[in-house]
A and B are shown apart, each in its own frame.
With several copies, the nearest count.
Chain A
């Protein structure tokens, strides 16, 4: 297996190609522009469509058109562009058009800056724009995982006929790591619903309007049923969690920093462990609840003022104290900072069982 050294943005692009993406629409924005630039070079070679749209609003609606026409379609952006896509995402959800949306988060609010952040968690996980729709949300923490989740994202999008978001951050997009690229797949997809020109058959319609409240309610319930089904897609990673008294919950790049802090804490004899949600919606609530049930405290680490912490609190339901440590505005947490938070937590709730110092599990 050859390993390539790639940037997160490029690795996602390449994986999308291998997942059979047929159309990419987007609008430049830092820190993800390598992704469209990669697509501009490669997608046409694969017989696909690359189009730089006039705006994110246009781009997401082009995705609607292409996705609705039955091909794997994709878009990528960062915070401000993601905001502009909210109406379009709501339409995609409502009309059940699959697609993959990448948001490489940066410092906000407003124009903010282009440094890594995780401040779009709420926007990505709580609602696909207005109305009751949701995105499925995947959060890679390594470039390899970015590849793997890109494939998964396309599959989930097809399976649930719903947009799937890959929620990364500027750092993941810009960093290079060795990756084993997935083998190209020829996706087997059911697109009997797609508008491809009716041929001799009955005409098909992609739409999200239903003036009859009862009918729209039934549709909304159908969407909620899908989200309930999607619970089976829940993914997370445990790291040194079995005997952890201090459970860190963190995703994406913050989780990697936390992992190093966990190692350092263990080296110092503290029983820290890490639970890393990989799917943010559906959220691994049960896993968090279970880990919290065995712990003395939960520590949520985010690059935001505190967003995922709400989902953690919802899962923990007051069983143990949930602490929060966040940096924002593009500042990235570092291992020593997280270690300090672990130490503080340990001091507050009792150090617990001393674990053997050193050694990486």
Chain B
């Protein structure tokens, strides 16, 4: 299908919405249709944050996704919540730094990335979200790496160029990790 839907989930403060937004901006740059939907409200404070992104070549119908093709989980509660919802054959990308169990289903592809030390190594553990984004691009090229780069540079215009560069480096690191790592289980392909 020409539409990919994914959910990013984690703690507030882990950059969940930002991950989704960069993805969405990259999709816009590629001329795609996209919807970006935050969980908003009380959960924002301290609790869980989730973000749903749907990217498509044509007009997107539902921005609400019950059974995502892809989930990116940044912490354990998010894995517990979203693992059961992934579509069979879908993809689960796990921030292993904050998740102390592995996936139980066998009908989904799984990628685990120890994103926080990786990001910390690049200067800021909070860029773990970008590492995860890179890993996503490796496993499911929903947008091009170039578009993500442009989106980050647009978001951090020249005075903030170093931040753009740092984030891009984090994405690149994730990409490398993702490409290196064969999905752990893959009972079916496609997302």
Contacts and interface: CB of A to CB of B under 8 A. Distances in A.
Interface of A: 3, 5, 30-31, 113-115, 170-171, 174-178, 211, 253, 256-263, 332-337, 360
A175 B61 contact: no
A340 B125 CA distance: 44
A331 to B, nearest CB: 10
B66 A334 contact: yes
Nearest to B151: A5
Contacts of A258: 61
A31 B60 CA distance: 23
Given A5-B24, A114-B41, A175 B63 contact: yes
Contacts of A253: 63-64
A3 B26 CA distance: 12
A335 B41 contact: no
A7 B35 CA distance: 10
Nearest to A114: B41
Contacts of B145: none
A208 B60 CA distance: 35
Given A335-B66, A336-B66, A336-B67, A360 B58 contact: yes
A86 B126 CA distance: 47
Interface in B32-69: 33-38, 40-42, 58, 60-67
A174 B40 CA distance: 8
Interface in B2-56: 21, 24-25, 28, 33-38, 40-42
A288 B67 CA distance: 31
A3 B34 CA distance: 11
A178 B64 contact: no
Contacts of B61: 256-260, 262-263, 335
B49 to A, nearest CB: 13
A335 B66 CA distance: 7
Nearest to B43: A211
B40 A170 contact: yes
Contacts of B60: 177, 256
Given A253-B64, A256-B62, A171 B41 contact: no
